[in-house]
């Protein structure tokens, strides 16, 4: 009886069952089971709980389930919903019928049953579930008084999980709009029924803002919150996310203020070489990466970058439109993807293709880097009418690219990527420059579709690429399985 009731609960059942008997025998993710409640927490178990919250940001294969292609959960699929949907990437170098649901997303000929939407929903809500459990434990004074953990460590861990919860909700609100809002672990069935409904987008944004403020207040003012584990969330990552939230809400002055605050720490700068933030040999030794997921080879359970395996199977190829977007002699093109060898260097972490096909590769997934942050500030300046200030920042990005040697080691021509400052362009022209620069600088970093949407140009750009994009596609459909299990309490997005 317990299992059959739970089939109809939405947010408790973050992983779509789709008739898979093995899933029906498992307790739903998000519901705190009796054995977990009765387990006596220790410092080690609390740290492990926090660490597990990061896991849903990884590209490791089979974090959720085992080879469930039909659930969209083989790996975190930002590349599908951002890079492929936007027209920068196509599913494979050689088109075939493999995983046709990815082609449906690419063409905007999908339904709410498409596995891609279930996949990202599952990853984000599992991350939120783990964050909620960690936050509840760390805020429980009775529990923490019995645990051997100093106050600074407790604050740091809390700062990390508040950030992570905000990060997962940021992804959900941009993909789906208003979604169920969970801020505490679910203890029983009445809790589950109460949360099986959508909160408004404004409520989700308010929660993201509140969580990031908590994170900033708790994290130490140092580049790495833990020098021994530099992959952890830092105050720099939290402030950068505050700037990004304001960017998406078009609060231009606050974008500038938050980036100024971040720059005041002097933690970050543009690396001399464009490829350094992605180079596996320079992880946590360079100056540009603000937040990334730390993939490591040779661990059990696996913590490697499984996306490299997909590339070995022919997945993740550039579109011709993406390749054509690069200016002549822009070295960033071949550092992103080399067509002749069918290698996606930024995603592999090397320029020699050694990890292609290796599901346990060490290349990190970069989520926030300083070049991206600078371009947020440039955009805010331009939107505020301070065009020259914005162009000067864009020129910093272009100068770094121009000073980066080509992938074969030869010098990039000195007349490549000329500067824009002082050319007398209009605001509209400056915004076009900014949008172009974001595309080529951040290619294959899962930013593009969100950019097109927030700029209000997705319909024009994507229909010109021959996609069946409709205005309502600015939000993806809520996974149909979640709506069904809620008994209709969760409403579908318009158009689906």
Residue-level length of the chain:
496
How much is the pLDDT for 336? 98
Is residue 25 over pLDDT 90?
no
Which residues on neighbouring strands pair with residue 361, listed in sequence order?
305
| Percentage of the chain lying above the pLDDT 90 cut | 88
Is residue 35 over pLDDT 80?
no
Is residue 454 over pLDDT 70?
yes
Which residues on neighbouring strands pair with residue 291, listed in sequence order?
368
Could you please state the CATH topology (level 3) that the domain comprising 266-455 is classified under: 1.25.40
Is residue 16 over pLDDT 80?
no
Mean pLDDT of 48-67: 96
Please identify which residue in the block is written with the tokens 């080529």.
440
Give the residue from 319, 320, 310, 375 showing the smallest Cα distance to 347: 310
How much is the pLDDT for 6? 34
In the three-class reduction of DSSP (H, G, I as helix; E, B as strand; rest coil), residue 89 is classed as strand
How much is the pLDDT for 485? 85
CA–CA–CA angle 402, 403, 409 (5° rounding): 105
Is residue 320 over pLDDT 50?
yes
How much is the pLDDT for 189? 64
How much is the pLDDT for 486? 85
How much is the pLDDT for 196? 82
Is residue 397 over pLDDT 90?
yes
- Tell me: the pLDDT tens digits for 76-97? 999 999 999 999 999 999 989 9
How much is the pLDDT for 95? 87
How much is the pLDDT for 65? 87
In the three-class reduction of DSSP (H, G, I as helix; E, B as strand; rest coil), residue 351 is classed as coil
More confident residue, 35 or 429: 429
Q: What crossing angle do the helices spanning 151-176 and 43-54 adopt, rounded to 10°?
A: 30
| Percentage of the chain lying above the pLDDT 70 cut | 91
How much is the pLDDT for 1? 32
Confidence of residue 190 (pLDDT cuts 50, 70, 90): low
Cβ neighbours of residue 32 closer than 8 Å, sequence gap 6 or more:
133, 185, 186, 187
Locate 82 and state its tokens.
């951002």
- Tell me: the pLDDT tens digits for 135-180? 999 999 999 999 999 999 999 999 999 999 999 999 999 999 999 9
Locate 142 and state its tokens.
């009775």
Mean pLDDT of 267-295: 98
Is residue 100 over pLDDT 80?
yes
Please report the DSSP string for 154-171 in residue order: HHHHHHHHHHHHHHHHHH
Give the residue from 489, 483, 477, 491 showing the smallest Cα distance to 13: 483
How much is the pLDDT for 186? 84
Is residue 24 over pLDDT 70?
no
Is residue 388 over pLDDT 70?
yes
> Any idea what DSSP says for residue 303?
B
pTM for this prediction: 0.93
What is each CA distance from 472 to 46, 104, 143, 181, 461, in whole angstroms? 42, 16, 47, 22, 15
Residues 168, 129: Cα–Cα separation, whole Å: 10
Locate 54 and state its tokens.
């990061």
- Tell me: the pLDDT tens digits for 243-278? 999 999 999 999 999 999 999 999 999 999 999 999
Confidence of residue 187 (pLDDT cuts 50, 70, 90): confident
Is residue 23 over pLDDT 70?
no
Considering the chain, what is the average pLDDT of its residues? 92
Is residue 227 over pLDDT 50?
yes
Torsion, Cα 37 43 47 50, to 10 degrees, reads 40
Indicate the range of 37-51, 88-102, 375-389, 467-481 predicted with least confidence. Answer: 37-51
Confidence of residue 19 (pLDDT cuts 50, 70, 90): very low
More confident residue, 5 or 444: 444
Asked if the bond preceding 301 is cis, omega within 30° of 0, the reply is: yes
């Amino acid at each position: 009886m317990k299992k059959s009731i739970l089939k109809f609960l939405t947010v408790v059942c973050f992983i779509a069952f789709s008739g898979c008997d093995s899933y029906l025998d498992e307790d739903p993710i998000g519901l705190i089971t009796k054995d977990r409640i009765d387990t006596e927490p220790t410092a080690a178990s609390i740290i492990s709980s926090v660490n597990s919250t990061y896991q849903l940001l990884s590209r490791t294969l089979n974090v959720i389930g085992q080879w469930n292609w039909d659930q969209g959960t083989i790996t975190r699929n930002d590349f599908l919903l951002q890079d492929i949907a936007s027209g920068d990437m196509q599913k494979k170098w050689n088109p075939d019928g493999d995983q046709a649901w990815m082609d449906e997303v690419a063409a905007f000929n999908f339904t709410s049953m498409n596995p891609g939407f279930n996949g990202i929903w599952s990853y984000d809500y599992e991350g939120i579930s783990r964050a909620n459990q960690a936050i509840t434990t760390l805020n429980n004074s009775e529990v923490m008084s019995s645990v051997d953990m100093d106050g600074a460590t407790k604050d740091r861990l809390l700062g990390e999980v508040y950030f992570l919860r905000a990060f997962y909700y940021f992804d959900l609100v941009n993909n789906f709009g208003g979604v169920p809002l969970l801020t505490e672990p679910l203890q029983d069935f009445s809790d589950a029924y109460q949360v099986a409904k959508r909160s408004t987008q404004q409520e989700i944004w308010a929660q993201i803002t509140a969580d990031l403020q908590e994170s900033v207040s708790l994290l130490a003012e140092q580049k790495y919150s833990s020098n021994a584990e530099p992959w952890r969330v830092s105050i720099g990552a939290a402030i950068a996310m505050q700037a990004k939230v304001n960017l998406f809400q078009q609060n231009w002055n606050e974008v500038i203020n938050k980036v100024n605050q971040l720059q005041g720490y002097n933690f970050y700068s543009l690396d001399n070489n464009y490829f350094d933030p992605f180079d596996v040999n320079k992880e946590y030794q360079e100056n540009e990466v603000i937040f990334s997921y730390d993939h490591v080879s040779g661990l059990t359970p696996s913590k490697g970058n499984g996306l490299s395996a997909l590339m070995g199977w022919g997945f993740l190829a550039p579109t011709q439109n993406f390749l054509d977007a690069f200016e002549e002699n822009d070295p960033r093109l071949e550092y992103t993807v080399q067509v002749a060898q069918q290698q996606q260097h930024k995603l592999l972490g090397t320029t020699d293709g050694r990890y292609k096909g290796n599901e346990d590769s060490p290349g990190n997934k970069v989520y926030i880097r300083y070049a991206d942050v600078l371009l947020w500030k440039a955009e805010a300046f331009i939107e505020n009418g301070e065009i020259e200030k914005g162009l000067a920042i864009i020129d910093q990005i272009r100068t770094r690219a121009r000073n980066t040697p080509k992938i074969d080691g030869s010098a990039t021509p000195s007349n490549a990527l000329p500067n824009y400052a002082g050319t007398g362009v209009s605001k509209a022209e400056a915004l076009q420059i900014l949008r172009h620069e974001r595309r080529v600088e951040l290619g294959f970093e899962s930013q593009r579709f969100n950019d097109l949407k927030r700029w209000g140009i997705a319909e024009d750009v994507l229909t010109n690429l021959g996609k069946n994009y409709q205005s309502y596609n600015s939000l993806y459909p809520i996974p149909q399985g979640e709506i069904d299990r809620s008994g209709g309490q969760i409403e579908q997005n318009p158009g689906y």
